[in-house]
Structure 1
Amino acid sequence: MTNDNWTDAECRYFFDLFEGEKKKGNKTKAGMNQTGKDFIAKKFEEKFGKKHIWNIFRNKYDTSRRIYARYKKLIYNRTGLGYDAMGRIDMSEDWWEQRKQEWPEAVNYKNKMLANMDVYDREFGAIVVTGAEGWSAQQGEASLDSRVGTENNDDEADSVDMQVPIEETQNRVGCSRPKRKRKEVDPATEISIARNVILEQKNKLVAHMVERDDRSSVENVLEVLNDLPGVRKWSPFHSGAVDHLLADLANRQGFMAFPSVEDKISYLEHITGRKLDD
């Protein structure tokens, strides 16, 4: 199965769950154990209403790793890279033409922003390319259980050997020893930091929008309505409130915006023309 129908929010949530299970010790060298698999699948279904078998998550992991590797290949050791406000590479046509000569698939990223790059950076870490096997993770998960699928082998055919260096830790302030000269930071690392500042702001906005949508979902709003003190299900007040809240997302958001139970009840009484005890 493909991963084309994954949203950015679903991808981010899966990797957050995966990272959490690693911290719990449910990820070993042999792969994610059954406890971790079951927890991830359960929480994902609760969040998005989608029930996946583990192969779907495994395929998404491997696909994300390959996408991350291709993008790192594109920006590796490039100086003077620029990004637009959306975090997309903003370079001249000549620059893209040169990249296309080196790697024909580079053109796929000309107007494309790689979402969740900060998540990929945390999970896959430093990476290396080998001509025989394509990109693989030097830090983080090389594969969940085994390498999945061979349909994308062509994407990895023209790989080159390279490794992203790790920045040397700075000396402590006030140390009596003479300061050691810092290693020159790889341009790709500097570019990644600048890009991640943009992506972090975007991801925070996306997370906020998802949280707001979840809070104003029909299921959550009706649960809040039914829990209001004094509410009798299918009373004239309750029926009118249900009709109002199901009619429009803005109605649900307005209802949830009131901080107190009293305000919520007063709002519904006003909008429906019914009293709570009707």
Structure 2
Amino acid sequence: MSNPASKATWTPGFHRVFVDLCLGEMLKNEPGSTRITKAGWRNIVGSFYAKTGVRYDKKQFKNHYDSTRKLWKVWVKLTEDSNMKWDPETGAFGASEEDWQNYVKAIPEAAQFQSKEIQFKDKLDIIFDGGNRIEEVKRWASLKWQNDSSTTSPLCGREREKKRKNFDRDCELDSTIVVDYSPTPKASWSPAYHKMFVDLCIEETLKGNKSATHFTKEGWRNIVGSFNAKTGMRYDKKQIKNHYDSTRKLWKIWAKLTGDDNMKWDPQTNTFGASEEDWHNCIKAFPEAAQFRFKELQFSDKLNVIFDGAMPTEEMITRLKRQNDASATLRGKEREKKRRNVGRDCGLKSAIMVNAIPISTIPSEQSMSSSSYTKVKATWTPTLHKIFVDLCMQETLKGNKPGTHFTKEGWKNIMESFYAKTGVNYGRLQLKNHWDSTKEQWRTWCKLIGTSYMKWDPSDQKFEASEEDWTNYLQENPEAAQFRYKELKFTDQLETIFNGTTVTGETEPAVQQRKSDDSVVTFPLHIKEPDTDNFDEKTECHCDVVASRNGVSIQKNASAVSSTEGKRNYSIGECIECLDRMEEIEQGSDLYMFALDVFLKQEYREIFLQLKTPNLRISWLQRLQSCGPPPV
């Protein structure tokens, strides 16, 4: 049974083979003929398969023939227009920008030739112009043959006959009669090409093939290969990288412009609200912004993901997952096909021919034995890190972290949710490695803010230490240098994840508690500490409050300070008023109703109102909720 024709993809190499085959068949025609015969098409189909291993049918070849002929006609008309001033000696147009603008307005198809000429022009002239051109070529080849004969020693009859038989091959102008394969063309980035480039960059970014500001070698290789396969161009890595850099420069200008409060950018309407005077002042100080005076940056949401690590949209993630699923299905089919063909391959080894599948789509032995999803190198952008921390927080509150690490179920949930949210398929080991590095950062941060002479101020979120103090500290703790000018992100959640209590079945108190020394210090819940004389050992409450930089961990069934003298009594009404101001908690939700029950306890009301941020209050409520119904 014959294999179905594969989808025609005309790479530069395939196009060159096609042109050479068409030229050979045209030279076999009778004088005056301008079309390829039926026998000629059969020869082209068979020869193309023999040379490339790819089986395209006659209709696909004729479609490519027609599209190539259409391009050639556009080129001929363009070069024959006197206003465009084509110089065949230099291979360049002498037309002005205004001439080009007028011409492209009338003939839009000519825009592609503004910065590059048509490939294989001499061959296409012979194929599509036919007639006299073919006779000229044959006469030229004949003259070349005669000259060669006259300049050599007399040939014997057998040698002359051999040379005559080679005449037809000479007429095919294989590589000596017409211009050979042209060099890499000048990169011309039309809107369609730019969109394709941005989509490919998004794809490689979401795959994790982008470290820091540029793509990995694998990422660039995928982008260059896919772009050339889809467009038929032959842009090299340098040309692609140059366009990447120029696109990044444009994005930076746009980001700076939209981030300027004076320009009043409205993302809802995609317009600026700045006055003429504001624009004048902005462009005077920032001339590059003038290009966005009347138009916005294209594909800004995608560029935010590529250059800033922004959260990808659902559409982007769905597209990548669809491609992953498609490639996984293809690999599965290839594995099954290979398994079924093992017996036949062993018995008919000498009779097997290469199938009509493009080489690039045939999986290797390594990929066939791999899992359904290709493992990618883990690259942790700020967005991916935030998603990871959020998922760890969820699993902690669910009780899937009984000790220092998550359970198997916890890791499984994190892996599946991470892939669902990002479209990036990281393995369990990659996620655990990031967990360990995040935990190490957390420990470094806790030690830093707990060192008394570093003078961390949780209210202002900054250190008051002198340069000398920093120098001395970093000499002993060089890993803390990362926090010299920036604080640790997501400290509220990390406090809960690494220092909190996890409930599995029965409620157990947390075994880890900060030590009050020069390395790690425990911050009190209240600014004014209770007098030790008022401490009542018999008084118990359900929560032991251990404060951190700007977070609080709750430990159930532990002893706590419970002095009520000099303390304010927080009312239920105050708590509800605070709860209603928290937009993150929907009124009437399970968590909202749970909070109302919690407010019945004076100790809980005090804790709730003393917590400084909404996120921290939510984390505390979710922690209590995971422990079961609040005690009455």
After TM superposition, is the score higher than 0.5? no
TM-score by length of 1: 0.42
Higher relative contact order (CA 8 A, sep 6+): 1
Bigger Cα Rg: 2
